[in-house]
Copies of this chain bind each other. A is one copy, B any other.
Amino acid sequence: MSVNIHIQAEDFDVSDEIEALTTETTGAVASFVGLVRGGDDLTALTLEHYPQMTEREIGRIAAEAQARWPLESLTIIHRVGRLTVGERIVLVAVAASHRAAAFEACEFLMDYLKTRAPFWKQEERGGTTRWVEHRDADAAAAERWRKP
């Protein structure tokens, strides 16, 4: 089981990342790409993070996914810095023998990244900037993975 976590300013290539994950026993790769979504005059996002904590926290989230599903390998790439509309922000890719585990783990990882990984988005609209507010829907999405 390999876990690849990268925090970087640079863009990534989804095909290359998926290719790197797959082995002869991989049957399924579920992946997710998050992008800077335009609208309401948004021009860019700037992503700040807590460097000493980010990889460690994402590592803990990845370990939890590994403990819950039979996974082969996974890659999480999260970009930081200023990103304009249409740019990729995040990739989560999960390889497994079967698709149910790959899908569930991928969605779990995204829900946990959204609510636990120490990143903060600042929006630029025209000349003004504003910190993005935490969405209750994200907290609810993460909450559903809690075991009873």
Query: In the complex, which residue of chain B has the Cβ closest to the Cβ of A37?
Result: B27
Q: Does A61 contact B (CB under 8 A)?
A: no
Q: Does A110 contact B (CB under 8 A)?
A: yes
- Proximity bits, A19-51, B CB within 8 Å = 1, else 0: 000111111111111110111000000000000
Q: A26 near B35 (CB under 8 angstroms)?
A: yes
Q: Which residue from B13, B23, B28, B85 sits with its C-beta under 8 Å from A32?
A: B28
Cα–Cα distance between A35 and B25 once the two chains are bound (Å): 9
Query: In the complex, which residue of chain B has the Cβ closest to the Cβ of A42?
Result: B24
Q: Does A141 contact B (CB under 8 A)?
A: yes
**Interface footprint category on A:** 20 to 34
Cα–Cα distance between A15 and B91 once the two chains are bound (Å): 12
Q: Which of A98-141 contact B (CB under 8 A)?
A: 99-100, 102-103, 106-107, 110, 141
Cα–Cα distance between A141 and B100 once the two chains are bound (Å): 9
Identify 14 residue pairs between A and B in the complex whose beta-carbon atoms are under 8 Å apart, listed by A's number. Answer: A13-B15, A14-B18, A18-B33, A22-B86, A24-B38, A24-B85, A25-B37, A28-B34, A30-B30, A31-B32, A32-B102, A32-B103, A99-B110, A103-B107
